[in-house]
Structure 1
Amino acid sequence: MTSRSTLRAMEAEVTLNDSGDTSGERRDAAGHFVDRYAHPYFEPGAAERELLNTRRRITDWSKTQLGPVPTPLRGGRISLNEIIGDEGVREIEELGEIRFHALGDSGVNHAEEAEQVAEDMATDFKPSAGGLNPAFLLHLGDVVYGAGKGTHYGERFYKPYRRYPGKIIAIPGNHDGEVKSDADNPSLKDFLAHFCTEEPQISTQASGSGIFRQTMTLPGAYWCLDAPFVRIIGLYSNRLENPGYLEGLQADGSDDQSQLQWLESVLREITGEQQQKALIVATHHPPFSQSGHSGSTEMHKSIIAIADRVGIIPDAFLSGHAHNYQRYTRRGGGRQIPYYVAGTGGINPQHVQPATGSPADESRTTTYDAALSSLGYLFITISSTQLKTEFWRLGSEYTTAFDPVTLDLADHTLR
């Protein structure tokens, strides 16, 4: 067995030839060892930092692997009336607040843990509670994992949620968009077939198991939901494992900026609408993450750049992807903006680094404030003055919420 000291001695003898190759190893124009090392971040010496800030970086390759982003119907907008009916919306308005659940990352294997979480959420419903009942579940993506998704919706979505009384809306995650078999092609076809039909219908994946749950009529893979006290913008962060992007690729291989253009358009529409409400942005890939999966810095910058250009600041961000609970606070413009990660819907929880309130990015304007490795769900309550979140861990032994936080919508501070 070659010792570490022997290897170091051998490395010292390696020389570069005139073409820039090491003896017996080729390098590309960026200096990567193209034969031996698979990951382009493994670069020679001090050049690594400089190279990562040029066009020669993994981001450029990643963008060539993006999938298409289908154009939504009806301008990408939908009202809560279209989902729960006029009477349901009237109950919420009379109550003076809206409540809903949120989670992601559920549909894996036999989805037994997802069913446990769903049944825990179902205890929040009471037949006589009216508007106090959650208005819906916002699924933050990765509804169904694996190849052949169309044949797995029964086991991995309809079955685990068969006793959940509420409607379920969703944004697609990377596993919803991936194409791992011919049956998954084109990308997102099965997500669209269950969440974006023109009229509600009962799919054979539900009825084949004797389950009554109608498909949803969302306008597409990205959308803006108008509800009492809140607008939610759901975005598709595409099919890469990491990071997330709002761009896509068209059939001819050219860049597709349509989702970014739509986001700017819909934000401008919102600024012109008279009724002021809380604004939530939801993406499957999280802008910030310390554990499980990394944050998507470039995606976040593109969202913030558009929001700044329009002159509107989202009140909160919701994401999944990392299989744990995390909360961050970004500060800017005199506001505190909470960012939540809740990929806690059923897949095995990932270890999460302890939250200490320390800076989470180079700007030092965002802090890492709460974390928990657990299955569970977010319970969100929004009125005209407050946005309150609670994370409920799976298990009857947990009788109090983890990390309850309230955002004052008047002064935009958290408490």
Structure 2
Amino acid sequence: MARIKTPSHPSHQFGQKRPPAHGGHSQASPLFHGSKVQPLPAPTGQAPFRLNLAEIIPDAVKAMEKAGGMALHMVGDTGGVQNPTPQQLVANGLEQDAGVAGAFGVPGFFYHLGDVIYFDGQASEYFAQFYQPYEHYPNPILGIPGNHDGDIYDDGKLVNPEPSLAPFVRNFCAATPGVHTPEAREATRTAMIQPNVYFTLNTPFATFVGLYTNVPEGGVVHPDQQDWFEGELAAADKHLPLIVAMHHPIQSLDTFHSGSKTMAKVLATAVAASKRQPSMVFAGHVHNYQRFSVSDAHGMTPFIVAGHGGYHNLHKMARANGQDLVTPYQAPNDPNVILDSYMDDRFGFLRLEISGDFIDLACMSVPRPQEPWSKAPRLYDRLRYNWKTRKSVMFPS
């Protein structure tokens, strides 16, 4: 893989935070608790918190098995607070792409990477920021919560603010199927039946281990979450690709959040304990798209940031010597981390197609607000990855 020499004097220090007014959230949140670890809610299912995709869409799973592969959508940071237009454009794009059949049919579900509701997971915002935008999206929506979903909204007027993640649990972790929550109002979508705020999704073609990384910047996991995470990596079917999802990213070269050393340690500890390397690692939190190749002695693992799902402030990438980063770009101080692609000026979503040895990833962009809203999503970036050999490969011509 080509290596690009890192400039010795970048114009912006990677990981340095800009003032919140430039791209943060605290100025619009009445009481921001973002430095506090919040207690986890009780699970609604039995340990070790696994959900089989066939429990949700049995007919679609049969079709996937017949086709020999599966397709799905993925993105995070969708909440359309203050300006709902970007979220609606992404929702429109997801709806259009849900009808596009690829090699294995149409996408079967949407996996959310967290921050469903801004600013702080309020029940009162679920209709405007979740149920209404996806009113016509035909597929189930699963996922992990983000820091804003877990933070506690308190404007000083609430007598009893809801505990952390209570609305998320109601709307994503119902104990039984078919629950229509008060937050859904007249929408027909019912609550998802995830067994916990962190859980494993088993499918015929991949295992998804979704880790909730709590509220504080950089993420935090409780000891029991770490134990669970290690156990689920070890237990995952070795004949299937293993996909890890967490809200706080390990790799990021943006100018506001940057990557998390805490999450890097969480993953490294889990990999060492389980002796299982993830096939891909996905995160949100940073409001743009970034694709990294992280190499070790045995191959390469893609690390993807997909937080460009509709929250109105996109995060800009760092610059080097006053210039935009040119990919492939070697991350500062780590020759094993290469930024392969990024998009920090458009919203969009991911489409994954998984079968056999391969994971095909497509980053789709959607129209800007001033462009015709009817325009179809456009391919921005793509990757074909052989998860068994741990190498990227060329798409067939």
* TM norm structure 1: 0.77
Match of 1:264 in 2: 230
What displacement does 1:369 show? 1.4
Match of 1:280 in 2: 243
Which residue in 1 is equivalent to 2:29? Answer: none
Q: How does 1:77-156 map to 2 (within 5 A)?
A: 77-85=50-58, 87-109=59-81, 111-126=84-99, 132-147=105-120, 149-156=122-129
Q: Deviations over 1:65-122 (max 9, x none)?
A: 211233532221111011212x211100111111101111111326332122111111
**For 1:12-411, what aligned pairs fall within 5 Å after superposition?**
65-70=36-41, 72=43, 73-75=45-47, 76-85=49-58, 87-109=59-81, 111-126=84-99, 132-147=105-120, 149-181=122-154, 182=158, 184-200=161-177, 201-206=179-184, 208=185, 210-240=186-216, 242-247=217-222, 257-270=223-236, 273=237, 276-291=239-254, 292-348=256-312, 349-353=314-318, 354-360=325-331, 362-373=333-344, 374-395=346-367, 400-411=378-389
> What are structure 2's unaligned runs of at least 5 residues?
1-16, 18-32, 319-324, 368-373
- The runs of at least 4 aligned residues of structure 1 exceeding 4 Å deviation read 127-131, 396-400
Q: What corresponds to 1:4 in structure 2?
A: none
Question: Per the alignment, do residues 158 and 397 of structure 1 end up closer, same or farther by CA in structure 2, a change over 3 Å counting?
Answer: closer
Structure 1 distance, partners of 2:112, 2:65, is 23
How far 1:233 moved relative to its partner?
0.5
> Are 2:88 and 2:133, in contact at CA under 8 Å, matched by a contact in 1?
yes
CA distance in 2, matches of 1:340, 1:148: 24
SS across alignment from 2:209: strand
Work out the number of aligned pairs and report it: 339
Partner Cα distance (1:64, 1:111) in 2 = 27
- Superposed CA offset, 1:268-287 (max 9, x none): 222xx4x6101110011111
* 1:260-299 Cα distance to aligned partner (Å, 9 max, x none): 01111222222xx4x6101110011111111142111121
What CA RMSD, in Å, does the superposition of the two structures yield over aligned residues? Answer: 2.3
Residue deviations 1:133-174, cap 9 Å, x none? 111111110000125711110111000110111100010000
SS of 1:367's partner is: strand
Whether the 8 Å CA contact 1:147–1:184 is kept in 2: the answer is: no
Is 2:118–2:148's contact at 8 Å kept on the other side of the alignment? yes
Which amino acid is 2:327 matched to? T
- Aligned to 1:123, what secondary structure does the other structure show? helix
Q: Distance in 2 between matches of 1:297 and 1:107?
A: 26
Q: CA deviation at 1:223?
A: 0.4
Query: Residue 361 of structure 1: CA displacement?
Result: 5.4
Work out whether residues 238 and 244 of structure 1, in 8 Å CA contact, stay in contact via their aligned partners in 2: yes
Amino acid in the other structure paired with 2:354: I
Which residue identity lines up with residue 357 of structure 1 in the other structure? P
Structure 1: stretches of 5+ with no match in the other structure: 1-40, 42-61, 248-256
How far has the Cα of 1:399 moved from its partner? 6.3
Q: Give the corresponding residue for 1:56.
A: none
3-state DSSP class of the match of 1:233? strand
Structure with bigger gyration radius = 1
Contact 1:325 1:371 in 2 (8 A): yes
